[in-house]
Every structure is written in structure tokens, then in C-alpha cells.
Amino acid sequence: MKPISGMKRTFLSYSIAAIFLGSAALDSFASANSDAVVQNAGNVTYVSGGVGLESLDQLSSIAKEFNLKLLFALNSGAYLSGVQVVIVDAKGKTVLDTTSDGPWFMTKLPVGNYKIVATLAGKAEMRKIAVGAAKLSTIDFRWASE
């Protein structure tokens, strides 16, 4: 076996270091994207995501802290993101107006009656719900197509 010359050895060392640094950066980027960020809008707390198994696992682990879960999908079962969510209380006041980062959208609302409008590509779906203090209620929103 022939020894590797000094210049080739240096190049090989730099190449291996670049591969390790690149894969570490990609791993950090993937982890950052899968982290669910709990947000606040007034007295409403919410989180969305669920793109990928890691994100679904993370959202499942914090679901007990919320009292309403919305699920967005096509009739075919394909999950959706980018759905506009508007939640209006019984007095007609908009308590939340945001866009979902994934197929799961969870929120902690004050006890009461709400109207939820979920809009995908200009197609709005509306549901009414009475939200309790402790139990997590789930509402599915389904669209025929995007």
C-alpha cells in the first residue's frame, strides 16, 4: 500500500471535515423546522405543524395543554398546510386570524362558543363548536382538492 502524499492528505482531511460540517448543519436545519413553536395572540395560545413524523410526535406530546385541535386534509387523506384559520367568539369578535404551518392546528381558547373558518385556496369551510376547559375537541376540515 502506497502512503498518501502531504497535499493529498490535507485535501482528504478538509473534504472529510466539510462533509461532517455539512451534515451537522443539515441536521440542525431539519430539527429547527420540526420544532413546534407555541404562539400567543391576545389571550389565545396556539401551535401548528405536523409535517413529518417528528413534528407529529412533538405536537402529540403537548396536545394535553390545548382544548381544540383542527386537522386539515383533502378528501383523499393527503394532509394540508397553509390553511388560513379564523376563530370568532360568540360576540362576533375575531380572537385569532393566522395561517397553519401544517395539518395540525391546536389552540387553547377560553370556554365558550366559537365559529371557525378554515380557508384553502379561496375555498372556506365553517364549523361551530362549544369549547370546554379541559377536554381536547378535534374538528376535521376536508377539501375535495387544493
Closest CA to 125 of 98, 143, 138, 102: 143
Q: What is the pLDDT of residue 134?
A: 77
Query: Do 78 and 110 contact (CB within 8 A), yes or no?
Result: no
Q: What is the pLDDT of residue 40?
A: 87
Q: Give the confidence band of 95 by pLDDT, cuts at 50, 70, 90.
A: very high
pTM of this prediction exceeds 0.75:
no
Q: What is the mean pLDDT of the chain?
A: 80
Torsion of CA 88, 89, 90, 91, to 10 degrees: -90
Instruction: Tell me what the mean pLDDT of segment 106-117 comes to.
Output: 95
Provide the 3-class DSSP secondary structure of residue 56: helix
Residue 33 has pLDDT above 70, yes or no: no
Residue 31 has pLDDT above 70, yes or no: no
